[in-house]
Structures are given as structure tokens and as C-alpha cells.
Amino acid sequence: MPDDHSQPPYAASAATASAPPPLPPMTARPAQDRTGLAIFLMCAVSFIFALQDGFSRVLGTEYPPVLIVMIRYWVFALFVIALVSRQPGGLKRAIRTKRPLTQIARGVILALEVLLMVEAFVRLGLIETHAVFAVYPLLVAALSGPVLGEKVGWRRWTAIALGFAGIIVILNPGGGVMSLAALLPFAAAAMFALYGLLTRHVSRDDPAMVSFFWTGISGAVAITLVGIWDWQWLAPTDWIWMGCLCVCGMTSHYLMIRSYELAEASALQPFAYTQLVWVSFIGVWLFDETLRHNVVIGAAIVVAAGIFTLWRQRRKAG
């Protein structure tokens, strides 16, 4: 079974929202283990991702979400090219892949997932979107059997069932607040889970540098083919928001890569859930969102189930 280094953490969720999540560093293992510093960096990344989501919601309420995602992807593609160019072999090595169709599919799936998340921010708000999206690690576990042929034991199936029960608590179907919009973050979580599994699949043949390159470039091309038809110039002040979004995106991705260089991904993944705390604070303080009790309880169930699933995966891999 591939190790958990090839699986993006929850914090990417937001990559989800603002930019594609980076893959683990370009080496197979951390060069040194400085877990304390790595955890601090991951918490900082989670905070910055939450800010990105706030910027995405502000811009998404004024412009078509596909436009915001397209511009963000353009900047991310440049970031990818600059970062990959500094790796051994440079762009010539990054372009060479043994699985071009799968790599393209990964990029397209992620671009669509990002778009769904921004749309969900506008329709549902930050808090409920992330509360539902937190089911993503459980979907990875559930889909790892049919997609990768991995065996999922009864303990992880139990955690998956509990996690979905938490989603039901969040959606509160008997409370008259459930809407079709709630399906957006769930669909995004499913797409992000598929993206993560395909990332593990291609990691058997392509190094992380290659996958990182194809993630940004194929995603940028795909979203441009769709979003260019909705092109419009942003207002001068909104370009400032977009600039903040791009700066946060590059900073968060660089810090995430640095954190992976210092510690194993499995040690960092639980701390990526701190993004839920920051998102809740930003949603309540800046957007007057309501932190309903059922959302808090349901999210706690989902996160607990997700952490247990990650722990079981780490034990099995070890």
C-alpha cells in the first residue's frame, strides 16, 4: 500500500476553496523530523487557508465563482512553474509522465472541486461548507477499495458510518434547513477524495514533482476553457482582494511544502482540522454566520471519525 505521503491533508480543503493543494515535497521522505515546527507550520497554513476562503467568499458574491477560480488558477500555475523549475530536471522532467490521461483527469477534477467549494461558500457560508467537507478523509477510506483495491476493515467502515451520521446531524433534515445547496460541499468532498486517490495511484509511477506540475497546469487549462466566457474586469478595490487571495495562496502552499519536509504527513493531518476553528471564527465575525449547535456536534463527530480513520491508516501502513 502506498504510504500516506501521497495523500493531501484536510487543509487542502481549502486549497479546495482558493487554489489546488500542493503535493508532499519533492522527496520521498522528510529530510529531517522536526515535528513541533512542522505542526506549527500546518496550523499557520490552516489559518491562511481560512483567510483564503474568506477572500473567495467576498469575491464570489460579486463575480461569477468560475471567474475567481480561473484567475486564482492562473497565478497558481505560474507558482507551480516557478517552483518546479527549481527542482532537479526542471520543467523538462516535470512534463514527462507515465500516466498523462490520469494526470489530466486529476487536474480537471480538482478544478471542478474548487469551483464547487467557492459556489458553496456563497450559497451556504464558510461554516456549513467546511463542516460538510470534513467528511473527505472518510470518503477516501470508503473509495480506496474500489479505486485502489485496498482492503478496508470493519473498524474503518464503522468510522465511515459514524462520519456519515455526523453529516446527517449537520444537515438536520428534520429541521427545515436542509437544501440542495448542501450537496455542493459533499460533492466537492467526493471529488477531492477521488483526486487524492488518483494522486496515490499516479505516485506509483510519477514523482511528486511531475504530479504537482500537472495538477496546476491541467487545472488552469480546464478552468480557463470554462471561465474565459465569463471574463470581466474586477473593480479596482476587488483587485486588492484578489491580490490578497493570491499572496495567501502562494504563502500557504510554500509553508505546507515546508511542513512536509520536516515531518510525516500522518503526523500533521489531525492539526489541519484547526482550519474548522478559524473558518468558524471568520464566518461568525465577518459574515454574520450562525454557528448552530447541530453543526458543531455533527462536525465534531465527522472530525473524530476522520482522525480515527487516519490513525488506523497510519497503523496499517506502519
C-beta of residue 211 within 8 angstroms of C-beta of residue 205: no
Mean pLDDT of 244-268: 79
Angle at 139 between CA 170 and CA 223, to 5 degrees: 95
Mean pLDDT to the nearest integer, 280-309: 83
The model's pTM is 0.80
Average pLDDT over residues 96-110: 92
The confidence score (pLDDT) of residue 292 equals: 80
Give the residue among 71, 113, 106 at the shortest CA–CA distance from 213. 106
Residue predicted with more confidence, 229 or 174: 229
- Look at 4 and 304; give whichever has higher pLDDT: 304
**Amino acid 313: pLDDT:** 64
pLDDT: is 59 or 3 the higher one?
59
Distance CA 130, CA 65 (A): 17
Element of type H or E holding 129: helix 126-133
Mean pLDDT score across all residues of the chain: 80
What is the number of structural domains in the chain? 1
Provide the residue range defining the domain that includes 242: 4-317
